[in-house]
Amino acid sequence: MNLENYDDQEGMKAWLSEQEVQQLLDQFDDTEKRIAVSLAVRCGLRSAEVLDIAPEHVVDTDAGTMLRVWKSAKTGEYRETPVPPNLATTIRTVGDVREGPIDAPLVDATTRTLRRWMDRATSDLLEDTGDDGWQFVGMHDLRRTWATSLRSADVDAMVVCDWGGWDDLQTFLDHYRGTHTPEAQLREREKVDWL
């Protein structure tokens, strides 16, 4: 986990490693909660956007399976972001088996409820792992983790901005891009024989 102090407030920004992302997702046995957290950490959605996603928003396009975010929580703009195959399948399956209409949101909660779910999970992880960093991890850190993991995988920064709904590269660089993921650091370190 990478941590960095906020410039103008208490607390810290957090970026999770892939192993930590999986540890977090494993905290959620409930499908609705797991989908909510997955939409943030695997698709880069903001909390309010998570609450608007319905099964019909998963679409197959020429760019692959995408998630349509009809209205950005920050800018009000439309965007599409990639959705991992297993998450797309889960969302479509929920849409097929539940009684609600296909355009009804998947997550029946509030942003406050999402924060409670995260607080409970990160408190459990803090207790289980002894890693004090978990106390700083919130929903928005999942979006931050998503963006940085894409860049660490060499996804073009402008594509990350497009998928994440950032209007300009500087906002992304200033607020979301963190230090390189542990996986990226290890990959680069292996290039040096003496390290």
Report if pTM > 0.75.
Answer: yes
- Give the pair of three-digit tokens for residue 123: 């408190």
Assess if CATH 1.10.10.10 describes domain 2-189: no
Overall average pLDDT of the 68-84 stretch: 88
- Chain centroid offset of residue 38 CA: 6
Q: Are strands 58-61 and 79-82 parallel, antiparallel or unpaired?
A: unpaired
pLDDT, residue 182, reads 74
pLDDT, tens digit (0-9, with 9 covering 90-100), for 81-92: 999 999 999 999
Angstrom distance (rounded) from CA 58 to CA 66 = 6
Largest CA distance in the chain: 60
- Angle separating helix axes 18-25 and 111-129, nearest 10 degrees: 110
User: Residue 57: pLDDT band by 50, 70, 90 thresholds?
Assistant: very high
Per domain, the residue ranges of the chain are 2-189
pLDDT of residue 178 exceeding 80 = no
Q: Mean pLDDT score of the chain, rounded to an integer?
A: 92
Strands (E), the chain: 2-5, 12-15, 58-61, 64-69, 79-82
pLDDT, tens digit (0-9, with 9 covering 90-100), for 146-173: 998 998 888 988 999 999 998 888 877 7
Residue closest to 10 by CA, chosen among 119, 136, 145, 173: 136
